[in-house]
Every structure is written in C-alpha cells, then in structure tokens.
Amino acid sequence: MNKNNFQRIVKHTFRAIRRWLSLLLIAWVASRISRELAMAIYTEALKAGWYDAAR
C-alpha cells in the first residue's frame, strides 16, 4: 500500500465517521424535542441515502 492509497482510505474513514456522528447528534437533539420529530428525521435520512453514504 502506497502513501496515496493510505491517505485516501484515512480521508474516507474520517468522512464516514463525521457523517455518522452528525446523524447521531441530529437524532439525539430531535429525540430530546419529540419522538415524532426524531422518527421524521430518521425516515428522511433513510430516503436521502445518508446511511448508505456513511458506510
């Protein structure tokens, strides 16, 4: 594995982690407000493909 491949893998990993953390933060804040809001945001995130992009 050369340096460029390693850097690309590290960047991709950090982006995925950042996406998951932002999703968790949004879900946590929404759940503190109301369960219905949390479920609405979750279903919209599924429709938008956020979870697929975070993998």
Nearest to 44 by CA among 19, 27, 31: 27
Structure confidence by residue, pLDDT tens digits, 12-30: 999 889 888 888 888 788 7
Q: Is the pTM of this model over 0.85?
A: no
pLDDT band with cut points at 50, 70 and 90 for residue 53: low
What residues contact 27, with CB distance under 8 A and at least 6 apart?
Answer: 38, 41, 42
- Note the pLDDT of residue 32: 84
Number of domains in the chain: 1
* Residue span of the structural domain in which 36 resides: 3-54
Q: Are 23 and 49 in contact (CB under 8 A)?
A: no
